[in-house]
Structure 1
Amino acid sequence: MIKTRKATRREILGWSMFDFANQAYTLLIVTVVFGDVYTRLVVGDAPDYRVGNLLWSAALCLSYALVVVAAPLLGAAMDGGRAKKRMLFASYVLTVASTALLYFVGPGHVWLGFILIVISNAAYSAGESFIASFLPFLGDSDELGRISGLGWALGYAGGLVSAGFVLLVLGEVAADNFERIRWVGPFAAAFFLLAAIPTFIWVREPAIGDRRRFNAELVRIAYKRVATTLRSLPEFPDLRRLFISILFAMAGVYVIVAFSFIYGAQVIGWSEDTRALMFVVVQITALIGALAFGALQSRLGGRLTYALTLTLWIAAILAIYFVGELTTLLNHSLTLSLREEQVFLFAGLLSGLSLGSSQSVGRALVGMFSPEARAAELFGYWGLMSKLAAIFGILGVGLLQWAFGLQGAVLFCIVLFAAALVPLAGIDEARGVDAARRASDPS
């Protein structure tokens, strides 16, 4: 197996800064602000916003479908053509440009908003796989949990900085504040543009493959590598099982990311202050979860740590669904006068811990089980599974909320996280790491 020189601290920081930068897109566009803007102000089918929610689900699912189709082939091209940084840069530029154009999406501009979300989220999602493919080159297998945790933690710090500014300066999502809140797209684009610069300065192109131009020959090589990897999947039984688990787990994660703040607005009916506080709670606890479980992974191992994060997710979903009953129980038992939106913050705390930890540990496990010579391609499959999960989860919840309402649809997430636990029983972590070390370059 090819072994590259271990990364410096500056290179690890540069790699982590991409997580810091791109979190502005995840939070401001998908989770906290623009999703609410699109469903309630751009589409605006009050009182239940079922058409807006369904169109939002469809836009995200279409963008993820593009990644599902392209990610493994692009990953193979990156490995075979020594093109990781070039592809990462292309996804970064496209995300920044299309996100800035969201400024022009006003009330009634349903399809313009739909198209720009498809383009920007597809480019952002592809970039997630591209940056993750550098992870196996940053340290030894027992260090990847800590390094991945640092990246996710910086990501949530970036989200806290970027979205905190927007919530304080641009204000609430409301029709009479639209001329200010529409700047969320350009701000997210500018934040991503500037904060990711250290990545392209400090992170080296791994010495894998031969540098080639993007042409028909490189496409042919990429197809050959994908075919070779598919034939060799029996050599990586633990990675295969991990991908199945990730398929179910990320379906649940994407549902929460896409609908949590929409849920707070439509089901809980929270105030603007609680919305802002929920954002802070989730970001801080996600940061803590990424760091804590990244460190815990070196003690307990990746498989057990990942299982713990999935169990934590199930507890978080139960807290979200039964927030009314929890509020009544606490008020009755402790003679309090809590409101549902206040107790909902507790569900946000659990969700934040689950969010940061599950994504960090899952990404580190993929890095541990991936041969260096196939890193970009296999992280392309990680992206494929994640985005296929997003299509399955978000479209499923979109259809369920159409039929039963958003509160009832959220129970679907419990089924997803429980299903993600099942394949973990057959994973042998030591065997998976050893298979990655013994693998040869497919080219």
Structure 2
Amino acid sequence: MDTKTVRAQAADEAAGLRREQRGWYFYDWACSVYSTSVLTVFLGPYLTSVAESAADADGYVHPLGLPVRAGSFFAYSVSLSVIVAVVLMPLVGAAADRGGRKKPLLGAAAYTGAAATTGMFFLDGDRYLLGGVLLVVANAAQSVASMLYNSYLPQIAPPEDRDAVSSRGWAFGYAAGSLVLVADLVLYSAHGSFGLSETAAVRICLASAGLWWGAFTLVPLRRLRDRHARGERAAGAASPGLRQLAATVRDMRRHPLTLAFLLAYLIYNDGIQTVITQASVYGSEELGLGQSTLITAVLLVQVLAVAGALAMGRLARTYGAKRTILGSLVAWTATLAAGYFLPAKEPVFFFVLACGIGLVLGGSQALSRSLFSHLVPPGKEAEYFSAYELSDRGMSWLGPLLFGLTYQISGSYRSAIISLVAFFVIGFALLARVPVRRAVAAAGNPVPEKI
């Protein structure tokens, strides 16, 4: 084969990867609206109000006969969703790696989540159980879909480009979240002008996120391509979910440094995701802020997260992803501590806190994803990302459970929010001990100049 042909093939391959990368960005554009409009802004306060409508005189609802404070029902539902995800994700991840057919599985998971989210239009009155079921289905489906989506990263981007590609994906997601939140804010604030009640406006905002998710998922499904299984992936039938997760963790024991990073990530990201999912509840129930204030605050987070993700991606080129993530965890700890002291009914201070969260949110998540992609043995991308995804995008179980239990015991959302500091402190300590250059080499991957 002559030099000209080799160069032409290399150019075609590079163009194909760029096309896939652009399609890959659009899944963040599609699903991040669910994370923002549904999980972060509307569903927490709205489902809490629905549960309160169904509560007894002591403020408890009784799903399956169990006494639960109405104010804790949303947090417990988020926790329950990860139990479903724990069963599904390792099973789907192993099947995707084994068969090399990620795209159909991605489509099935995405449209299951989009359908459940669209069904939230019917959440009204005292139907808190319906809301809990739809939340669990949507969260579990999003977790499975995001796991498959993330596992494409090491296949579509060379090692030296992954921080930038991952950061652009997050930036796309936050840009979409900002755009839709503007529309949501207009609809919610002027619902009377549209002939809608406040409840109807919220239900439309919830359902429209599902429609958006489904519509834009078509782009990555057209552009991403399946690849045959390779590397260490062994043949055989897939194990049931929990057994497959155990098998994945046992396999990770052959890569202890990868496992060490994952443990650190699971802990600090649990704190990040719990802040994201519970911030609107904290703002409405503890600080007495209105829904329009909460939407505006989250919009600030989205806008600044775009800049933050891109800026931290650039910092990683100079200082490495690990150091940049450690710096973001210090900022998270300071921001959360400041949140404990916020005065009630003072939206300006809540907006300042939102700015702090926005500047570190996108970058800490994007760089964690790209750093982990270097630590995955070739051929096991989806399987390893199934373990990674257990704590991603608001699917963590320990943080919401701790938040809900702290509130149930103390009756104070301030105590609940400050309890999350432990996740950032422990996560920082564990990540600081991981020698990432050795971890990348031990996984069988080339070591980037800056990592």
Q: State TM-score, norm by structure 2.
A: 0.85
Q: What is the Cα deviation at residue 278 of structure 1? A: 0.7
Q: Residues 132 and 363 of structure 1 are in contact (CA less than 8 Å); yes or no, is this contact kept in structure 2?
A: yes
Matched, 1:354 2:360: yes
Could you tell me how far apart the structure 2 residues matched to 1:259 and 1:375 are?
31
Matched, 1:257 2:276: yes
Could you tell me how far apart the structure 2 residues matched to 1:10 and 1:316 are?
38
Deviations 1:64-109 (A, max 9, x none): 1111222222211100011211111110110111111111111101
SS in 1 for 2:124: coil
| Residue in structure 2 matched with residue 219 of structure 1 by the alignment | 238
| Residue in structure 1 matched with residue 4 of structure 2 by the alignment | none
Q: Runs (4+) of structure 1 moved beyond 3 Å?
A: 41-50, 170-176, 220-232, 385-389
| Residue in structure 2 matched with residue 36 of structure 1 by the alignment | 45
1:149-228 alignment runs, 5 A limit: 149-171=167-189, 176-209=197-230, 218-219=237-238
Deviations 1:31-50 (A, max 9, x none): 10122111124534599898
Q: What is the Cα deviation at residue 280 of structure 1? A: 1.9
Q: Residues 284 and 291 of structure 2 are in contact (CA less than 8 Å); yes or no, is this contact kept in structure 1?
A: no
Could you tell me how far apart the structure 2 residues matched to 1:237 and 1:116 are?
37
Given the superposition, is the C-alpha separation of residues 234 and 267 from structure 1 closer, same or farther in structure 2, using an over 3 Å criterion?
Answer: same
Q: What is the Cα deviation at residue 20 of structure 1? A: 0.9
SS in 1 for 2:157: coil
| Residue in structure 1 matched with residue 80 of structure 2 by the alignment | 62
Could you tell me how far apart the structure 2 residues matched to 1:206 and 1:238 are?
27
Could you tell me how far apart the structure 2 residues matched to 1:225 and 1:271 are?
45
Could you tell me how far apart the structure 1 residues matched to 2:400 and 2:242 are?
30
Moved more, 385-394 or 131-140: 385-394
Matched, 1:341 2:341: no
Q: Residues 250 and 389 of structure 1 are in contact (CA less than 8 Å); yes or no, is this contact kept in structure 2?
A: no
1:15-414 alignment runs, 5 A limit: 15-44=24-53, 51-171=69-189, 176-209=197-230, 218-219=237-238, 229-324=248-343, 340-386=346-392, 390-404=396-410, 405-414=412-421
Q: What is the Cα deviation at residue 271 of structure 1? A: 3.9
Q: Residues 54 and 402 of structure 1 are in contact (CA less than 8 Å); yes or no, is this contact kept in structure 2?
A: yes
Identity %: 26
Given the superposition, is the C-alpha separation of residues 181 and 274 from structure 1 closer, same or farther in structure 2, using an over 3 Å criterion?
Answer: closer
Given the superposition, is the C-alpha separation of residues 139 and 350 from structure 1 closer, same or farther in structure 2, using an over 3 Å criterion?
Answer: same
| Residue in structure 2 matched with residue 334 of structure 1 by the alignment | none
Matched residue pairs, number?
417
Q: What is the Cα deviation at residue 399 of structure 1? A: 0.8
Q: Residues 250 and 386 of structure 1 are in contact (CA less than 8 Å); yes or no, is this contact kept in structure 2?
A: yes
Could you tell me how far apart the structure 2 residues matched to 1:281 and 1:16 are?
21
Could you tell me how far apart the structure 1 residues matched to 2:316 and 2:265 are?
17
Matched, 1:431 2:449: no
Deviations 1:380-413 (A, max 9, x none): 1101344897110001100101222111111111
Instruction: Give, as a single letter, the amino acid of the residue that structure 2 aligns with 1:144.
Output: R
Q: Provide structure 1 residue ranges, at least 5 long, that are not aligned to the other structure.
A: 211-215, 328-338
Could you tell me how far apart the structure 2 residues matched to 1:91 and 1:389 are?
15
Q: What is the Cα deviation at residue 57 of structure 1? A: 1.2
Q: State TM-score, norm by structure 1.
A: 0.87
SS in 1 for 2:289: coil
Instruction: Give, as a single letter, the amino acid of the residue that structure 2 aligns with 1:22.
Output: C
Given the superposition, is the C-alpha separation of residues 411 and 103 from structure 1 closer, same or farther in structure 2, using an over 3 Å criterion?
Answer: same
Q: What is the Cα deviation at residue 252 of structure 1? A: 0.8
Could you tell me how far apart the structure 1 residues matched to 2:334 and 2:439 are?
29
Q: What is the Cα deviation at residue 222 of structure 1? A: 9.5
Moved more, 267-276 or 340-349: 267-276
Could you tell me how far apart the structure 1 residues matched to 2:35 and 2:392 are?
15
Q: What is the Cα deviation at residue 438 of structure 1? A: 5.6
Q: What is the Cα deviation at residue 221 of structure 1? A: 11
Q: What is the Cα deviation at residue 308 of structure 1? A: 0.9
SS in 2 for 1:399: helix
Could you tell me how far apart the structure 1 residues matched to 2:190 and 2:360 are?
27
SS in 1 for 2:100: coil
Q: What is the Cα deviation at residue 184 of structure 1? A: 2.2
Given the superposition, is the C-alpha separation of residues 92 and 51 from structure 1 closer, same or farther in structure 2, using an over 3 Å criterion?
Answer: same
Moved more, 423-432 or 409-418: 423-432
Q: Provide structure 2 residue ranges, at least 5 long, that are not aligned to the other structure.
A: 1-12, 61-67, 447-451
Given the superposition, is the C-alpha separation of residues 68 and 220 from structure 1 closer, same or farther in structure 2, using an over 3 Å criterion?
Answer: closer
- Which structure is higher in helix share? 1
